Structure 1
């Protein structure tokens, strides 16, 4: 049975993934980015100020969702639009599920639905990280929404050496794509696996390798997709 070497470039591999993989799959975890939550007093005070109001909030990152639920003094009366997958899971785990009014796995579709559901007469808070994409705020600004962006974490590149020829490389974010290809060149034949359309789009801008995108933005489905590819 041929061994299949995979490189996982994300920060955190979900629990049980390795246990569920067939024995021929070997996964090396080398994070090419790290995130740092911001914890300055003014930022946390700003969060808890808007928690006291009925706000419209957009969250496209599970890291931002973790920041919100970590520093919030109580569960607010918000309308939340967020990405499916781990971002939604953070809110569900912290019993914020009832605040979610919209979800999607693509930023463009989420922005279009927000336009239909959110009110233009009320400010919209986009709670995100330093390296966020501007797809949603730019779209809504053009449609007449008042958007305030709140930066809750920084993303830094991590230097990693590669000593193995991998049969496939796994990416969870555009930031990891940028960091990886700033450091390394790879054979054009190596398949690249993206957890979602945004990450796949970042890869397509840089390389001509085969790019396989998970049909849903979860690690479980991504790894199922990888197994199907190598059958």
Structure 2
């Protein structure tokens, strides 16, 4: 490549995640466009099963002094990494899914007579709770973390942007515009938020940070070989 591809990540990446881009000879800019604040209230559940659709919700639970009592209950979750963290901490995961839509359909089809505690954040999508309500499934929602937008003005020109949540998209657009940059999304929910602004959207094959990065690398490598 004559000129290095310049990529902006809308959250700070782990060292091994950065290495994918650096090994591909890309330039990386990164900034945290959202901030997560954990609630410190006591965590309890009076229902049959636990639901986690966010690693942030789970990470907060694990900092709570009485979280081990929750291990008596089985879980449903969204995300392979969330499932791994749950199992590493002794939770019994009945099923995991890539998206909340898939989880909602499964619960409605297979577990509609059970009750649930859903751990969430303030900017969570409506997908799961609305589906459960419409199916008359009993659940309680406990908000255990808060997402705040922390916009950053990006002065440098970039070729591609990595997005990992709808809130990250909203935060980016508060101080920046999207013109001809290619936007790489961790999943369909993030893509839907972006598609209000641009059609230059590539969605990861799997909803992970690593796969989002790989899609970005593959896109530009293919573009430069054509």
Fold shared, TM-score > 0.5 on shorter chain: yes
Decide which moves more: 12-21 or 206-215.
12-21
Is 2:113 aligned against 1:124?
no
How far is the alpha carbon of 1:83 from its aligned partner? Answer: 0.9
Structure 2: distance between partners of 1:184 and 1:173: 16
State yes or no: 1:13 paired with 2:4. no
Structure 1: distance between partners of 2:57 and 2:93? 15
From 38, 62, 83, the counterpart of 1:69: 62
Q: Aligned Cα RMSD in Å? A: 1.7
Q: Does 1:172 align with 2:164?
A: yes
Could you tell me the TM-score, scaled by structure 2's length?
0.89
Give the 5 Å matches for 1:129-148: 129-148=121-140
| 1:88 matched to 2:83 | yes
Q: CA separation in 1, counterparts of 2:47 and 2:178?
A: 49
Q: Do the aligned partners of 1:64 and 1:128 also contact (CA within 8 Å) in 2?
A: yes
1:160-184 Cα offsets, whole Å, 9 max, x none, are 1211111001100011111111221
SS at match of 2:62: helix
Question: Whole-Å Cα distance in 2 between the matches of residues 57 and 174 of structure 1?
Answer: 24
Alpha carbons 1:69, 1:91 under 8 Å: kept: no
> 1:207–1:5: structure 2 CA closer, same or farther, 3 Å change rule?
same
> Are 1:56 and 2:52 matched, yes or no?
no
Structure 2 residue corresponding to 1:199, chosen from 190, 200, 210: 190
CA displacement at 1:123 relative to structure 2: 2.5
TM-score under structure 1 length normalisation: 0.87
SS in 1 for 2:162: strand
Q: Is the 8 A contact 1:81 1:103 kept in 2?
A: yes
Alignment of 1:226 with 2:216, yes or no, is: yes
CA contact (8 A) 1:102 1:114 kept: no
2:141 corresponds, among 133, 146, 149, to 149
Deviation at 1:190, TM superposition (A): 1.0
